[in-house]
Structure 1
Amino acid sequence: MDISIFENERIDDLQYKGLKLIQKKDGFCFGVDAVLLANFADIRRNDRVLDLGTGTGIIAVLIAAKTAAASVTGLEIQPEMWEMAQRSVKLNGLEGRLDMVCGDIKNALQLFGQSQFKAIVTNPPYMNKGGGLLNPLDTMAVSRHELLCTLEDVICVSSKLLVPGGRFAMVHRPERLADIIFLMRSFGVEPKYLRFVHPSPCKKPNMVLIRGMRGGKPQLKVLEPLYVYDESGGYSKEINEIYCRGEVAEA
């Protein structure tokens, strides 16, 4: 298949069954947080899945390729990122299983309709807009800062798009955890599982993975911490399993 790759782009090997992803050489690129979220999300057979703010499409591509979901949709507001993600879909031969939609998270209810998805995943911008001047046309700034959507927008919209009993999964920063739990409960998505991600056993967590259920009963389980690197400085056993494992186990 003839897929256009432009001068300022590269193709990254995802090291799983030949999967590849098109990314900008000097733009926003996916990190370990996206890979961990794709693994952490509770995706089950025949689920209809939505990735809010799909960016390069990494999470959507991994879920479409590694699970038995019925369909996966990625929603991205930035036309340049959306177009690049579309080419990654074709590059991996995932047409028919994975669809990329260009649109605003705040308009997602109009795009898809209420209660349409069994599972929603999201890796939203981590940083508040703050008082500095940021360019809303800068893909790096939009991916990192709450310029075009807020944490509240993401959780509010997710609660309306999920079917009752639908599952929500997100990766974020530990310092936003109080806001995350407050907003999830405010919009009827009960936090069910929480896992902190540490760079290494001797360092504080720099990421948090959280799963919730629309209309779920209160009971939050804090899972064992996940370490990216072990005490010797190499990747931990679990990280190697996540990157090199076969199919994602179904719950």
Structure 2
Amino acid sequence: MMASPGFTFKQFHVAHDRCGMKVGTDAVLLGAWTPVDSARRILDIGTGSGVIALMLAQRSHPDTHIDAIEIDANASLQASENILASPWPDKVLVHHVSLQAYQSEPYDLIVSNPPYFGAGQSFSDPARATARHDGALSQHELLQSAARLLAPAGRLALVMPKEEGERCCALAAQYGLHCLQIDRVRSTPSKEVNRLLMLFSRECVGVECNEICIHSAIGSYSERYIQLTSAFYLKM
């Protein structure tokens, strides 16, 4: 049977034709980078097609449970279908609910590739607007909810554009969260940093700073990017 339009990884396929946000580099980076070794309960906020939840299902302990929440009905349904068709149908559960209304026991790990565009950015597709605009989920609401849902030793992993990420780091302390690690992402060594991968906790122990270049100076994928994503991409 031919797979639905979407993106095929080594161990699973992600259909995304009914999602406002398609599978992209931000999601793949977050799913590959986020530390999962000690996590037995994981929450994926704004799961979209379910790609990050599925990447974490592949990487995490067999006994780990992953909840994935999505406010858009079509995306929520498609994420559920992607998970049922994956090798981990019993490991991930999709909930059609807003983060603000979501209630649960605490999580060891929360991940999100959140919306970040302000109201001035317009999209013709309403689903894409919901996925990209921060009107449905501001940084304040994201951090407040993460602090509410994190276990005492839990971690919060986010990917954001550079300016939004820097603002999030400054804001997080208001909610008792502190940045443990920042990986600055640039497409090539000569390009400016355009994304931040950030890991937060309730501990305030200083920040470890690293850098990821997606491509080398000659245009091929960098060794670091290959190391992160080789378990997923068919071409690696």
- Secondary structure in structure 1 of the residue aligned to 2:163: helix
Shift of 1:198: 0.2
Instruction: Pick one of 120, 123, 126 that aligns with 2:116.
Output: 126
Cα distance in 2, alignment partners of residues 193 and 26 from structure 1: 30
Q: Please report the TM-score for the alignment, with normalisation by the length of structure 2.
A: 0.90
Letter matched to residue 243 of structure 1: T
Q: In the TM superposition, what is the alpha-carbon distance from 1:26 to its structure 2 partner? A: 8.7
Give the letter aligned to residue 117 of structure 1: Y
Find the counterpart in structure 1 of residue 203 from structure 2.
216
Matched, 1:237 2:215: no
- Is 1:10 aligned to residue 5 of structure 2? yes
CA contact (8 A) 2:157 2:197 kept: yes
| Identity level (%) | 21
CA distance in 2, matches of 1:74, 1:162: 15
Unaligned runs of 5+ in 2: none
Aligned-partner SS, 2:192: coil
**Residue type at the aligned position of 2:228:** I
Q: Is the CA contact (8 Å cut-off) linking 2:19 and 2:74 kept in structure 1? A: no
TM-score normalised by length of structure 1 = 0.85
Contact 2:186–2:212 (CA under 8 A) maintained in structure 1: yes
The yes-or-no answer on 1:21 pairing with 2:4 is no
* Contact 1:45-1:70 within 8 A present in 2 as well: no
Distance 2:116 2:16 in 1: 20
Task: Write the distance in 2 (CA, Å) between the matches of 1:177 and 1:66.
Answer: 25
Q: CA RMSD in A?
A: 2.2
**CA–CA separation in structure 2 for the residues paired with 1:25 and 1:86:** 12
175-184 vs 229-238, greater mean Cα deviation: 175-184
Residue 171 (structure 1) aligned with residue 154 (structure 2): no
In structure 1, stretches of 5+ residues that fail to align are 247-251
Take 1:71 and 1:96, find their aligned partners in 2: how far apart are those partners?
8
1:218: Cα distance to partner? 3.5
Aligned to 1:71: 65
The 1-side partners of 2:228 and 2:131 are apart by 24
Partner deviation per Cα, 1:158-204 (whole Å, 9 max, x = no partner): 01100111101000011123321122111011111011000100000
The one of 66, 70, 89 equivalent to 1:95 is 89
| 1:120-147 deviation per Cα after TM superposition (whole angstroms, max 9, x unaligned) | 00000121223x6667x71111111113
Give 1:237's aligned amino acid: E
Quote the offset at 1:27 in angstroms. Answer: 4.9
- 4+ residue segments displaced more than 4 Å: 132-135
* Alignment of structure 1 residues 106-185 onto 2, 5 Å: 106-108=100-102, 111-113=103-105, 116-130=106-120, 138-185=126-173
Number of aligned positions between the proteins? 231
Q: Does the Cα contact within 8 Å between 1:10 and 1:25 map onto a contact in 2?
A: no
Once the two structures are TM-superposed, the CA of residue 91 in structure 1 deviates from its matched residue by 0.8
Tell me the alpha carbon deviations over residues 66-90 of structure 1, each in whole angstroms, 9 at most, x when there is no partner: 2116111110000100000000001
Amino acid at match of 1:228: I
